[in-house]
Amino acid sequence: MARRSTRRSVDPAPPAQILEEGPLLDWLQGTVLVAVGTWIYFSVFNGDWLWDDDKVLTRNPLIHDPHGFWNVWIRPDGLGNYDPLTSAVRWLQWQAWGDNPLGYHLLSLGLHLGSAFLIWRLFSRLDITQAWLGAMLFAVHPLMVESVAWVAELKNTLSLPPLLLVFLAYLTYLEKGRRPVDYLWALGWFIVSMLAKTAGMMLPVVLLGYLYYRQRLIGWREVRSCAPFFLVALLAGLVTVWPQHETGPADVVVATGGWNARVAAMGWTILFLTGKVFWPVGLVPVYPTLALEMTTLAAAVPWLLIAGAFSLFWWKRQTWGMSCLAGFGFFIVNLVPVLGYIAMKYETMVWSLDHLVYLPIIGLIGLVTTGVGALRLRWGESGRPWIMGGATMVLTLLAFLAHGYAIAFSDEETLWRYTVGRYPGIVLAQENLGKALLQSNRPEEAVAPFATGVKLDPQHADTHFNLGRALVESGRLEEGIAEYRAALEIRPQDAEVENNLGVALVQAGKLEEAIQTFTTVTQYKPDYELAYANLGGALAQIGRNQEAVQVLTRALELKPGAIEVRNNLGIVLEKLGRIPEARVQFQEVLREEPGNRVAQEHLNKLPELP
């Protein structure tokens, strides 16, 4: 008779339990996160360059320099920002992808999704039960679109992963006996993040806040552990502010005002961005100008609301209030560097941008995620379908909103048509739409948005200048000349505007006036080779060839590779009978640009040397 087995059988776990608690669910959730994130941004993969992409990348000589990888560590980028790690990555990308935007978009998306996975991990370490929901909210939130879809904002997506790794390493440091190696990892990742962008410079304050949240007290030991982070943040902040003040645009679209106006703007910015987090509708790359000239009461309203909210949270800190203090505190603390009390260059253009909340939003997402976990705990299994259904609906709605918004970032014209369609009163949006139309050789269409911009702000010199360009290129010379003059009244001695005015005067047959204009430019900007080139051409047209030779020679001294100037110099020398010198100029052009039609035709007509 067979002996009965004494081993007890183990009943397999129900499939639902395996899915909920095992790695299969993690893989499924991770796949959903990547798939949805990729779908949201798929429309920008073959998109074009936008807005400031030319200054930081496509026309940035530092990025195109063969030795630029080393130079970016000692020089600001094309917008006056010192983010050397970001610039170094841009340099490497340019070597790899050139002017094909696809690779740049893929990297930004990969970094964004990588941050979402790190948020998932961080929330899990902080015992937030619905950690995956937090990662998904970050991945699909429409406010993230500007940072991910706009190549120039690589600094946002590049700086966040190392900052999240700081939190994870610091948690390990606290949980494993404060080992020095874990502390050094945290400090090292913080330095890496600061080199990419100083947006996370308030991290030491956040760490102290977390220590209070964890221990309900802060002693000298905690302060000492955060001191090196404060030092790194201080140095990074000083390095960031300095180039912003050294390189600023000439026009100021948004007046920053005195300290009272700045304080008012800070409060309203906090409320505005908080509202966009919870109601992300009507998002645009720039928003209507904030009216800083407001009554004392209006200026105080946001701060009264903020103070009231935090007083309530503190009163309820023994229950739900502590989570609100942590979430809203993280949000506001990380907004502080960009709220405008210290004037930064972007404030001369706009008062608020979506990408300013790329890091701060994590605090509010953590708060929402914690709230969902608390609801699930209170309602038990009976409420689970309602919670899952509601979360799915919210995520789906956010994903569709983000997908629709990302489509607007496909190209320059689409982006600014989208913006002016929602806020036609934004001067910068009208101007950028006009520029996009000019770049696509449609000056007649560009006239309308530029003209609208001039009506909205008659004292904005750049808009007058660009309207002048569109009018001249449309053949409306006299109107274009009038706009150039209007720009110069607002901003005298602008070499580019005055040079364009001279070109328009030449086209209108007003050569003497054009010559005087070009001469004036060379007097206050003696290194502007384009003005010399145009002056030489105008002098040649009225037969003052000897003077033209001198001026064109000066232009070549300033820019030896200027092919058009060499051709013009060769033509003038040919008229003067100085054939050998003319031949040298045309040959130099053909050496630099084989097949140049103008140089070849004139060279063929020159008589042979005896």
Cα dist from 58 to 248, 406, 591, whole Å: 20, 21, 26
Which residue has better confidence, 206 or 2? Answer: 206
Predicted confidence (pLDDT) per residue in 23-37, tens digit: 788 899 999 999 999
Confidence of residue 244 (pLDDT cuts 50, 70, 90): low
Tokens encoding 320 = 């739900």
Q: Where along the chain do its domains lie?
A: 27-410, 413-605
> At 470, is the secondary structure helix, strand, or coil?
helix
Average pLDDT, the chain: 84
pLDDT at 442 > cutoff 90: yes
pLDDT at 377: 80
pLDDT at 2: 40
Which distant-in-sequence residues (6+ apart) come within 8 Å of 422 by Cβ? 282, 284
| Lowest mean pLDDT segment, chosen from 166-170, 371-375, 585-589 | 585-589
pLDDT at 399 > cutoff 80: yes
pLDDT at 191: 95
The CATH number fitting domain 413-605, selected from 1.10.3720.10, 3.20.20.150, 1.20.1290.10, 1.25.40.10 = 1.25.40.10
3-class secondary structure for 404-466? HHHHHHHCHHHHHHHHHHHCCCCHHHHHHHHHHHHHCCCHHHHHHHHHHHHHHCCCCHHHHHH
Q: Which of 229, 88, 107, 215 is nearest to 169 (CA)?
A: 229
Mean pLDDT value across residues 342-350: 47
| 106, 116 Cβ separation under 8 angstroms | no
Q: Whole-angstrom Cα distance, residue 181 to residue 184?
A: 5
Q: Which of 217, 223, 307 is nearest to 271 (CA)?
A: 307
Q: Which of 572, 506, 576, 497 is nearest to 534 (CA)?
A: 506
pLDDT at 19: 41
Cα dist from 468 to 29, 230, 462, 529, whole Å: 55, 50, 10, 22
Predicted confidence (pLDDT) per residue in 289-313, tens digit: 765 555 667 778 888 999 999 999 9
Mean pLDDT value across residues 113-126: 95
Which residue has better confidence, 85 or 541? Answer: 85
User: What's the predicted TM-score (pTM) here?
Assistant: 0.84
